[in-house]
Amino acid sequence: MAKGRILIDVERCKGCELCREACPPDVIALADTLNSKGYRPVMLLDPQHECTGCALCATVCPDGCITVYRESVPKPQRKRKQPAYPGHVIPVAA
């Protein structure tokens, strides 16, 4: 599975924890420290690298403070079909 990571703008986060509810692998936690507004921001707590970069946390974030990156996995090269016999034409899907 593709790995991902999220960046959290801790100064803008208000610690509502809606992203924690939305996160399927549950890798978001509240920080121990406060930000300058006095909120406890969320942080990525992902010791086993379970974040998949699904961006559901960013979808529900009311303050738009989550940026999501996902590892790009190179797609396997598709082999071109070889003609079955010389002169055979491969039909092209319409």
Partner 1 sequence: MVTLEPPIEQLPCENLIYSRPESLAEIQTHYCPGCTHGVAHRLVAEVIDELEIQERTILVAPVGCAVFAYNYFDFDSAEAAHGRAPAMATGLKRVNPNSIVFTYQGDGDLASIGIAEAIHAATRGENITVIFVNNAIYGMTGGQMAPTSLIGQVTTSSPTGKDAALTGMPMHIAEMMAPLPGVVYSVRRSLHDARHTIQAKKAIRTAFEAQIQGLGFSIVELLSSCPTNWKMTPLDAAHWVRDEMIPVYPLGDFKVAEPLQNKNRSA
Give the footprint of partner 1 on this chain (CB under 8 A): 3-5, 11-12, 14-18, 21-22, 37, 39, 44, 46-49, 53, 55-56, 58-72
> Six-digit token pair at 67?
């940026």
Q: What are the two backbone dihedrals, phi and then psi, of residue 76, each rounded to the nearest 5 degrees? A: -65, 140
CA distance linking residue 28 with residue 43, whole number of Å: 6
Closer CB to partner 1, residue 17 or residue 26? 17
| Residue closer to partner 1 (CB basis): 73 or 90 | 73
Q: In this complex, which beta carbon is closest to partner 1, that of residue 56 or of residue 90?
A: 56
Closest separation between CB of residue 54 and partner 1, Å?
A: 8
CA atoms within 13 A on the CB side of 64: 0
Q: How far is the CB of 80 from partner 1 (least distance, A)?
A: 26
- Matching residue, tokens 């942080």: 43
Closest CA to 66 of 3, 6, 5: 6
Least distance from partner 1 to the Cβ atom of residue 32, Å: 15
